[in-house]
């Protein structure tokens, strides 16, 4: 197991109502929770987190199904990996650490969990940052051929009958490395030790299956929850920061701040000099924007 974080990031396993969540904590000050995406772990933040930990209490976790967190058995409607369940894990983690109110930032799948966390638990989330995503509901309501080509993995991973598990399981290292290279556009190079760690974690068949369940939930039960929120007029009420890679699909395909303003009341957004993997391709600018946003949000 490689460790790219300073030793002050202490490890602990937090029991979130029976799901053990691998957690790292460092720093002092207001709490901020950082969530990773696919096919990664908390180490996606390995260059950003130390910069924030000088001012904030930084909490890093592996989402359920990923990294060194538990991979609970799936169920027929994929609710085990609904963003609602994954967000509840993170709320429990922060509660166990003594934080009733906190900011949250999420990249990729972690951004979708963070979005759900802010919707389901507005009393807990003081500020929300989402990196290189627009809401899942918006994506599925505006699919076109360009999305199908750029995000084919959404449909491949959601396929049933164990198809993606079998194919990825034949060579998980190829899948992880090829998928990441395909979405990297001109930012800083990936740290090889971080990629090695992603491969280590993703080589577990349980992790492959859990991550597919994450995408199956997104195409099913997550949309049910999102549509219920839309029908009830529920929006994100805390401040929102949207960061996206100007060279990636999201930056080229969507007016990111405008889309988020359909779902949230207070949105600011900035394009980053990167592709999809914003925290790794542009760690300095990412940390700078997050720090400024957290500082401004604490004053509002």
| Helix ranges restricted to H, 80-191 | 83-96, 109-120, 136-141, 145-150, 152-158, 163-169, 172-182
Query: For residue 298, is the peptide bond before it cis, meaning its omega torsion is within 30 degrees of 0?
Result: no
> Which listed residue (62, 68, 89, 108) is catalytic?
108
The residues facing 243 across adjacent strands are 131, 270
Please, how many CA atoms are within 13 Å of residue 124, restricted to the half-sphere of its CB? 22
- Please name the helix (run of DSSP H) or strand (run of DSSP E) that holds residue 24, with its range, or none: strand 19-26
Q: Running DSSP on this structure, what letter comes out for residue 18?
A: T
Q: Which residues contact 105 (CB under 8 A, 6 or more apart)?
A: 32, 33, 34, 35, 114, 128, 129, 130, 131, 241, 290
Q: Strand runs (DSSP E) across 202-263, as ranges?
A: 236-245
- Alpha carbon of 173 to those of 95, 196, 208, 298: distances in Å? 35, 9, 11, 42
- Alpha carbon of 81 to those of 38, 209, 245: distances in Å? 14, 11, 27
Known active-site residue 108 = yes
Structure tokens at 31: 């709490």
CA distance 54 to 29: 9
> Which listed residue (184, 209, 276, 289) is catalytic?
276
Is residue 52 within 8 Å of 32, Cβ to Cβ?
yes
Known active-site residue 46 = no
Indicate which residues carry an active-site annotation.
Answer: 108, 276
């Amino acid at each position: 197991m490689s460790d790219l974080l300073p030793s002050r990031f202490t490890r602990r396993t937090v029991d979130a109502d029976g799901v053990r969540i691998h957690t790292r904590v460092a720093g002092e000050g207001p709490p901020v929770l950082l969530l990773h995406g696919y096919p990664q772990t908390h180490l996606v933040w390995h260059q950003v987190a130390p910069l924030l930990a000088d001012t904030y209490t930084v909490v890093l976790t592996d989402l359920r199904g990923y990294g060194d967190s538990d991979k609970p058995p799936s169920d027929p409607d994929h609710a085990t990996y609904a963003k609602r369940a994954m967000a509840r894990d993170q709320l429990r983690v922060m509660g166990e650490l003594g934080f009733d109110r906190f900011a949250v930032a999420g990249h990729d799948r972690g951004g979708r969990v963070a979005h759900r966390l802010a919707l389901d638990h507005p009393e807990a989330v003081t500020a929300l940052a989402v990196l290189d995503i627009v809401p899942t509901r918006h994506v599925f309501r505006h699919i076109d051929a360009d999305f199908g080509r750029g995000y084919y993995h959404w449909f491949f991973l959601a396929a049933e009958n164990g198809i993606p598990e079998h194919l990825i399981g034949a060579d998980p290292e190829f899948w992880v490395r090829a998928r990441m290279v395909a979405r990297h556009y001109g930012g800083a190079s990936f740290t090889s030790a971080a990629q090695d760690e992603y491969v280590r974690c993703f080589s577990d068949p349980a992790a492959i299956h859990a991550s597919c369940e994450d995408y199956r939930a997104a195409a099913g039960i997550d949309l049910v929850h999102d549509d219920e929120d839309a029908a009830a007029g529920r929006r994100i009420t805390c401040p929102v920061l949207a960061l996206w890679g100007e060279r990636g699909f999201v930056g080229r395909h969507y007016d990111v701040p405008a889309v988020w303003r359909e779902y949230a009341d207070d949105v600011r957004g900035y394009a980053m000099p990167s592709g999809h993997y914003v925290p790794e391709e542009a760690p300095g600018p990412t940390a700078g924007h997050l720090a400024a946003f957290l500082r401004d949000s604490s004053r509002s």
